[in-house]
Structure 1
């Protein structure tokens, strides 16, 4: 397509289209499918350790590797989706995710466990994660709809957690933990079909793009020279540390303190359920209020919730209350964080730049999951990791407060001599 033809194609797309129901619906189901199984990994820890020659540290390291490959893969997959189309990346997500879960089910050595549950599942989640789906949403809705639709997409991922927490436990009880993983692997093969409506690139969305000849290198230099982007990226590390630790170790932690395993299922399901409410509320509030201020309050509230949970008597009732509170705060950071990247830099490289922010999140996830297993194995307690999360939450609040919610100015090129 030549320049004139491309210009005509751009003009033919409406600047403010109606709400793209099919795109959002399919993207939401994909978000639920990709987020669901990896959020239920904690339920597989104890039955797997009974059957295979692994310890808690090996299981935790596998999930830590999963989180770091999720983070490393997202900027790459985001850039590929921006340039070559979202469908290709989502197809890769479904196939890789399924292969990883199947290998996790059959792994007899730690090396195969790390490859399946770690590398392959991590790359599968990266190729189908929030950053990929939300970038596709951003190209198909107006700026006025963006924060809300990001909240809807994030809430869908939360629904995946709500669904897969009891579903995975039910599968384990009915079929055993290995067949449960095979069933979830089969579900991932639906993703390429659901991804067909999201097949566009950064230049083929329903919103007419602003003329922009910025290269990837220029976009990266602009982002890494932008103070607010760096603060946002650093702060998102904390979100990953907190939620990944709880996802991976909450069932084992409750077993350690003598609370029935059924409450771990209830707790994670409640986190998923109230996460839907929190994510939707975050999208609505972020559309109307300061996103940096909203993120500051979320991180403060998380630290307060964890502190109360640790200091109050730990009973089934406090587990339920804590799960509800954390659910409201769980992924409520995702919509305002991605919306801020879009505000700062637009949507042309949103998949890549949002993916870099998410890489920081996943480095935090790696440390949260790994430290949880390592300190529990060496010190006999998860408490030190809980308190590290409290301190990091307060640091994240400080980092988000000065972020500027404005379009980043493009550096002016020096005139040629």
Structure 2
């Protein structure tokens, strides 16, 4: 029998999920500041480091649906604790890495699955179950906002240690901060005490994992959203991985990259809260399309001109506002269309598409840079694909009524 929940449980669960996602996302969003010093110290190419980040994103995407499918069997707490421990292992190993193989293993094959167990889909599914349906979109926006809040402290700390000591000191500091993920996962795991609400009509709550997956893949709205999510991942991870290097290549102060990443994190808080609120009032799919189109115009504006500190900070602020606002919109759409029981798994399927895009953005950006000596072709491809995805997503959403929210 599940234990009865107390009113304070909801606050504790949401705080635990927010802290867990803040650290998991904030630390990994700041990895780009270590790219050049790590590559120079170990004598490896930029593409070697970006391959590790690409593998990380790919493993994150592949792991997340399986982690979500295991939740009904073993609970959220076990999944999140496994992710926290694996994340700490990856950072500790990366801080001592001495070869490209070690970087690939610890940054890619450890931290990637860790994100699948302690990242967006899991923490948002925890939150969806913890709060009433009427307030779900807003709370998902709060959790999404926490995802980049970690960059507000991680990026400046990492960059300062990177500049004044070395990159290993910065990664070690990240490992120390990651220790907090373990108690956060334990607290968020209190959600396992709560029974799942009764299955609502039209959802997949009463079915098996296979039935839920089949229904999701047969839903045109879900398929369009998942495919557009590929472009989202490609754009964002290209920026988090390569923006610091681009800023340095343009002869600007290296600390500007940390400032830019911190601004992205800060304005993402505002954007996530706004889109979480907006998703409770307007068509979530249409809002997603508008985000993709807006991002593409902002990227084109920034890269078409010679960057300055002022334009870089404005660019980071605008991109930050449009950054993880997709999170509450996608999570809310999945909960509306399919219910809560298999939300983490189905959202993980969509996020797998996002992470294939992330792989393309991280590795493809590095590969094109090594091939051409600049980032021009990379950002042009990103803008073109972003506009295409945004237009298709918006057009499809306008042709379909929004899904009703399950009770």
Both proteins in one fold, TM over 0.5: yes
Q: 1:230 aligns with which of 223, 226, 240?
A: 223
Matched with 2:133 is: 143
Matched with 2:390 is: 397
Q: Alpha-carbon deviation of 1:397? A: 1.2
Q: Alpha-carbon deviation of 1:240? A: 0.3
The secondary structure found in structure 2 opposite 1:304 is: helix
> Which 10-residue stretch deviates more, 54-63 or 177-186?
177-186
Q: Alpha-carbon deviation of 1:87? A: 1.0
User: Using the alignment, how far apart are the partners of 2:52 and 2:238 within structure 1?
Assistant: 13
Q: Alpha-carbon deviation of 1:113? A: 1.3
Deviations 1:30-70 (A, max 9, x none): 11110121111111111112211211010111110111011
Q: Is the 8 A contact 2:13 2:190 kept in 1?
A: no
Matched with 1:367 is: 360
Q: 2:269 aligns with which of 276, 295, 300?
A: 276
Matched with 1:155 is: 145
User: Using the alignment, how far apart are the partners of 1:345 and 1:118 within structure 2?
Assistant: 31
Q: 1:65 aligns with which of 25, 41, 55?
A: 55
Q: Relative to 1, partners in 2 of residues 1:386 and 1:82: Cα closer, same or farther, differing over 3 Å?
A: farther
**TM-score of the aligned structures, taking structure 1 as reference length:** 0.90
Matched with 1:412 is: none
Question: Does 1:221 find its partner at 2:214?
Answer: yes
- Give unmatched runs, 5+ long, in structure 2: none
Q: Relative to 1, partners in 2 of residues 1:136 and 1:101: Cα closer, same or farther, differing over 3 Å?
A: same
Question: Does 1:76 find its partner at 2:69?
Answer: no
Question: Does 1:328 find its partner at 2:321?
Answer: yes
Q: Is the 8 A contact 2:159 2:255 kept in 1?
A: no
Q: Is the 8 A contact 2:81 2:186 kept in 1?
A: no
> Which residues in structure 2 correspond to 1:371-390 (within 5 Å)?
371-390=364-383
Q: Alpha-carbon deviation of 1:200? A: 5.2
Q: Alpha-carbon deviation of 1:389? A: 1.1
Matched with 2:89 is: 99
Q: Is the 8 A contact 1:136 1:200 kept in 2?
A: no
User: Using the alignment, how far apart are the partners of 2:191 and 2:260 within structure 1?
Assistant: 39
User: Using the alignment, how far apart are the partners of 1:376 and 1:218 within structure 2?
Assistant: 43
Deviations 1:243-302 (A, max 9, x none): 000000001011112222121111111111101100110100111111111111111111
Matched with 2:309 is: 316
Deviations 1:207-231 (A, max 9, x none): 6332743011111111111111101
User: Using the alignment, how far apart are the partners of 2:244 and 2:135 within structure 1?
Assistant: 38
User: Using the alignment, how far apart are the partners of 1:298 and 1:215 within structure 2?
Assistant: 33
Q: Relative to 1, partners in 2 of residues 1:252 and 1:85: Cα closer, same or farther, differing over 3 Å?
A: same
User: Using the alignment, how far apart are the partners of 2:215 and 2:282 within structure 1?
Assistant: 26
Question: Does 1:169 find its partner at 2:162?
Answer: no
Matched with 1:205 is: 194
Q: Is the 8 A contact 1:241 1:364 kept in 2?
A: yes
Larger radius of gyration: 1
Q: Is the 8 A contact 1:43 1:251 kept in 2?
A: yes
User: Using the alignment, how far apart are the partners of 1:170 and 1:28 within structure 2?
Assistant: 25
| Aligned alpha-carbon RMSD (Å) | 2.1
**TM-score of the aligned structures, taking structure 2 as reference length:** 0.93
How many equivalent residue pairs? 398
User: Using the alignment, how far apart are the partners of 1:201 and 1:35 within structure 2?
Assistant: 21
The secondary structure found in structure 1 opposite 2:130 is: coil
Q: Is the 8 A contact 1:147 1:284 kept in 2?
A: yes
- Give unmatched runs, 5+ long, in structure 1: 2-8, 410-417
Q: Is the 8 A contact 1:79 1:349 kept in 2?
A: yes
User: Using the alignment, how far apart are the partners of 1:181 and 1:259 within structure 2?
Assistant: 23
Matched with 2:333 is: 340
Deviations 1:182-241 (A, max 9, x none): 232232232221222322577x53663327430111111111111111011101111100
Q: Is the 8 A contact 1:67 1:362 kept in 2?
A: yes
User: Using the alignment, how far apart are the partners of 2:72 and 2:149 within structure 1?
Assistant: 26
The secondary structure found in structure 1 opposite 2:244 is: helix
The secondary structure found in structure 1 opposite 2:33 is: helix
User: Using the alignment, how far apart are the partners of 1:324 and 1:213 within structure 2?
Assistant: 43
Q: Relative to 1, partners in 2 of residues 1:155 and 1:65: Cα closer, same or farther, differing over 3 Å?
A: same
Q: 2:170 aligns with which of 159, 180, 198?
A: 180
Q: Alpha-carbon deviation of 1:22? A: 1.2
Matched with 2:403 is: 406
Q: Is the 8 A contact 2:14 2:130 kept in 1?
A: no
Deviations 1:57-113 (A, max 9, x none): 101111101110111111111122243111111111111111111222222222221
> Which 10-residue stretch deviates more, 317-326 or 101-110?
101-110
User: Using the alignment, how far apart are the partners of 1:101 and 1:38 within structure 2?
Assistant: 10
